[in-house]
C-alpha cells in the first residue's frame, strides 16, 4: 500500500536522511543539540523532497500529530487508546487529537476529512463496537482502524482477540477446579456479545467444563440484567460453580443478585467479568476478576502501525492483540 498523492512528512525526511523523526524536528526548527553535518543532511533531504516546513510561529512544529476518530460517547474506551497512541511515539514526539463521530457514519467521514485537512500525519478510526466495518474513503494520510476492523483486507486494522480473552477465563475456571459454568451475555445483536458467547460455547469442553443449559443467556449490557440472570440461575436444578459474564456491569449485577440471595461469592460461586472497567469492577462487592482488553496496548499498536505507514512501511491486514486475566476477589 502506498500513498503516492500524500504530502511529504517528517517521516519521509527522516527516512531519506537516515535519522529519527525527533532529529528531523530539531534540525528543521533549529532547536536542541545537533551536529552541523547532521543538520545539513536533514535540511538537504527536506529541500530535495519538497517538504513544507511548518509555520514559524508553531512552537510545536515538527511534532507528529495523529487524529483519533471515535464514536465512544463516554470516552471510557477511547481515552485509554488515546494514551497508548501518545505513548507509542514517546514523550513530546506526538500529539493526538480526538474527534467524535457519535456513532454516525456521515459524521465519521466528516471527522476524517476535517483531520486530514488539518494536516495530521495519520488517522486512527475507532468504532464503539467490535467486528468488521465498511472501509472509509482513502485520504491523503494513512488510516488505521482500531477495535472494529475494516472489511477491506488491504486496510490496516488493530483489534482485540476476544476469543483468546474468553479462553483465559475458561482456563482460569478449569484451574480453580470448576466444572459447571454459566455464561451471561450482552444483547445477541452485538457482535461482541455473540463472539464472546460463541467462544465459551465452543471451547468450554476443551477445558473439561460444562455450560449450564448448553448455551449463553443473552440480555443486555446492564447491572439490572446481571441481577435478573442471577435469579434465573438460582432457579436452575444444575449446580453452577462459576458465572462468566460478557461485561463487568453484568458481572456486578450478578454479584449483587447472588449476595442478596445469601450466596457467598467466591465461596459458593465464582464470577468473572469482562472489560476491567474500574467503575464496575472495583465498586463490585467483591471486586471482580475480569478480562482486560489492554486498550492502552491497542493504542500503542495502532500508533506503531500509523508510524510504519507514515514512514512508507505500511503493511495491510489485521493485528489481533491478546487480552489479560486480572484476578481479584470474585474467584
x/- string (CB under 8 A) for a copy of itself, residues 266-305?
A: -------------xx--x----------------------
Single residue of 4, 50, 55, 177 touching a copy of itself by CB under 8 A: 55
Q: CA triplet 282, 288, 293: central angle to 5 degrees?
A: 90
74 binds a copy of itself (CB under 8 A): yes
Single residue of 8, 34, 49, 97 touching a copy of itself by CB under 8 A: 97
117 binds a copy of itself (CB under 8 A): yes
Cα separation of the two ends of the chain: 47
Single residue of 31, 35, 102, 315 touching a copy of itself by CB under 8 A: 102
Size of the site for a copy of itself (CB under 8 A): 46
**Angle in degrees, 0-180, between the axes of helices 295-310 and 78-88, rounded to the nearest 10:** 50
**Half-sphere CA count of 315, side-chain side, radius 13 A:** 6
From 155, 136, 162, select the one nearest 71 (Cα to Cα). Answer: 136
* CA distances, 99 to each of 125, 134, 324 (Å): 10, 19, 29
Question: Grid coordinates in use for 24?
Answer: 528531523
Residues 179-238 that bind a copy of itself (CB under 8 A): 222-224
Single residue of 53, 114, 210, 311 touching a copy of itself by CB under 8 A: 114
In whole angstroms, what is the distance from residue 103 CA to residue 60 CA?
A: 31
Residues found near a copy of itself in the complex (CB under 8 A): 54-55, 57-61, 63, 65, 67, 72-76, 78-79, 82-83, 86, 92, 95-100, 102, 110-111, 113-120, 140, 222-224, 249, 279-280, 283
Amino acid at each position: 500500500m502506498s500513498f503516492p498523492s500524500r504530502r511529504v512528512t517528517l517521516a519521509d525526511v527522516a527516512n531519506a536522511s537516515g535519522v529519527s523523526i525527533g532529529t528531523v524536528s530539531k534540525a528543521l526548527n533549529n532547536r536542541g543539540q545537533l551536529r552541523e553535518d547532521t543538520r545539513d543532511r536533514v535540511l538537504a533531504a527536506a529541500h530535495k523532497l519538497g517538504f513544507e516546513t511548518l509555520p514559524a510561529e508553531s512552537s510545536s512544529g515538527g511534532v507528529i500529530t495523529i487524529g483519533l476518530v471515535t464514536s465512544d460517547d463516554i470516552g471510557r474506551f477511547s481515552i485509554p487508546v488515546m494514551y497508548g497512541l501518545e505513548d507509542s511515539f514517546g514523550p513530546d514526539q506526538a500529539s493526538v487529537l480526538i474527534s467524535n463521530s457519535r456513532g454516525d457514519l456521515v459524521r465519521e467521514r466528516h471527522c476524517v476529512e476535517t483531520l486530514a485537512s488539518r494536516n495530521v500525519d495519520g488517522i486512527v478510526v475507532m468504532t464503539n463496537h467490535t467486528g468488521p466495518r465498511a472501509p472509509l474513503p482513502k485520504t491523503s494520510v494513512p488510516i488505521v482502524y482500531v477495535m472494529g476492523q475494516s472489511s477491506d483486507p488491504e486496510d490496516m486494522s488493530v483489534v482485540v482477540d476476544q476469543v483468546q480473552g474468553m479462553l483465559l477465563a475458561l482456563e482460569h475456571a478449569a484451574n480453580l477446579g470448576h466444572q459447571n459454568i454459566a455464561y451471561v451475555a450482552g444483547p445477541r445483536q452485538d457482535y461482541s456479545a455473540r463472539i464472546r458467547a460463541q467462544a465459551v460455547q465452543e471451547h468450554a469442553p476443551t477445558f473439561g467444563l460444562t455450560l449450564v443449559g448448553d448455551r449463553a443467556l443473552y440480555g443486555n449490557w446492564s447491572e439490572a440484567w446481571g441481577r435478573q440472570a442471577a435469579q434465573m440461575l438460582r432457579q436452575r436444578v444444575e449446580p453452577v460453580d462459576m458465572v462468566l459474564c460478557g461485561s463487568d456491569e453484568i458481572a456486578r449485577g450478578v454479584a449483587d443478585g447472588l449476595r442478596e440471595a445469601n450466596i457467598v461469592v467466591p465461596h459458593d460461586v465464582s464470577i468473572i467479568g469482562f472489560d476491567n472497567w474500574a467503575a464496575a469492577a472495583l465498586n463490585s462487592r467483591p471486586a471482580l476478576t475480569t478480562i482486560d482488553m489492554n486498550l492502552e496496548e491497542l493504542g500503542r499498536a495502532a500508533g506503531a502501525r500509523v508510524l510504519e505507514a507514515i514512514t512508507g512501511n505500511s503493511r495491510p491486514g489485521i493485528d489481533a492483540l491478546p487480552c489479560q486475566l486480572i484476578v481479584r476477589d470474585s474467584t
